[in-house]
Amino acid sequence: MADGAMHPYLPRVNPQVQGRRALAIGHHSRLLLDSGRVFMLLGALILACQLTTTAATPIHVAPYPYVFVAFLLWLLGAMFAMLSLIAGQFPILAAAAAAVATKLRSYLLGGL
């Protein structure tokens, strides 16, 4: 009953435009998910590398800046992965986050 009452208020969208919009949202979602995976893996690798080299170094050398950077990269990756799940509900946010993810990947990893 609610669908019938809301039908006149729903925007009329051309099916071709709706299909292109769905493709764009799918592309942004995939890009965010891949970027999230890359940044989470990069953060975990930095942390693992720092932890293995810390055991061989003297105690007075503080590994804290690298651990903090690794944690921030992992959080950024988790944020991108979570945004990929809601890309269909917030397409403008997904497009902006995909642009940020693309720029960060090209800056940090050379376009990987």
On whether residue 2 sits in a domain, the answer given is no
Q: What is the pLDDT of residue 30?
A: 87
Task: Indicate if the pLDDT at residue 51 is higher than 70.
Answer: yes
The percentage of the chain sitting over the pLDDT mark of 70, rounded to a whole number, equals 65
Residue 64 lies in a domain: yes
Structural domain count, the chain: 1
Of the candidates 39, 50, 106, 37, the one whose C-alpha atom is nearest the C-alpha of residue 73 is 39
Do residues 1 and 67 lie in contact, with contact meaning Cβ atoms separated by under 8 Å? Answer: no
Supply the DSSP string of 48-59, one letter for each residue: HHHHHHHTTS-T
Residue 33 lies in a domain: yes
Decide if 3 is inside a domain: no
95 is a domain residue: yes
Question: Is pTM beyond 0.75 here?
Answer: no
Domain annotation covers residue 70? yes
Q: Does residue 60 belong to any structural domain of this protein?
A: yes
Look up the domain containing 51 and give its range. 25-109
